[in-house]
Chain A
Amino acid sequence: MQKKVLTEQSIYYGNVSMPKHWDIDRTELSHYILQSNLTDTKLKFSKTFDKLTTYIRDFINLKHNINLINKSTWGNIYKPNETTIPLLNIDPVDLRNSPDFTMLYGVEVKECNVRIHFDDNRRKGRSWDIKLENNMFIMFPSTNIYYITNNQKDSLNFVQTITYEYI
Chain B
Amino acid sequence: MAHFAKISENNEVLVVLTLNNVDMHNADGVEDETVGQQYLETHNNWPAQMWIQTSYNTFRGTHNNGGTALRGNYAGIGMTWDEDDQIFWPKKPYASWVKHNASASWKSPIGDAPELTEEQITQNTPADENTLSTHRWHYVWNEENQTWDLTNDLA
Contact surface of A with B, Cβ cutoff 8 Å: 17, 19-22, 47, 50-51, 54, 58-59, 61-62
Contacts and interface: CB of A to CB of B under 8 A. Distances in A.
Interface in B1-43: 6, 8-9, 12, 14-15
Contacts of B6: 58
A59 B77 CA distance: 10
A94 to B, nearest CB: 31
B44 to A, nearest CB: 8
A162 to B, nearest CB: 15
A22 B47 contact: yes
Contacts of A62: 8, 12, 14, 77-78
Nearest to B14: A58
A20 B8 CA distance: 11
B46 interface: yes
Interface of B: 6, 8-9, 12, 14-15, 44-47, 50, 77-78
A19 B9 contact: yes
Q: Which 8 A-B pairs have the closest CB atoms?
A: A58-B14, A51-B45, A19-B47, A50-B45, A19-B9, A47-B45, A62-B14, A22-B47
B47 A61 contact: no
A110 B50 CA distance: 33
Contacts of A58: 6, 14-15
Contacts of A50: 45
A58 B50 CA distance: 14
B77 to A, nearest CB: 6
20 contacts: A17-B9, A19-B9, A19-B46, A19-B47, A20-B9, A21-B47, A22-B45, A22-B46, A47-B45, A50-B45, A51-B45, A54-B44, A58-B6, A58-B14, A58-B15, A61-B14, A61-B77, A62-B8, A62-B12, A62-B14
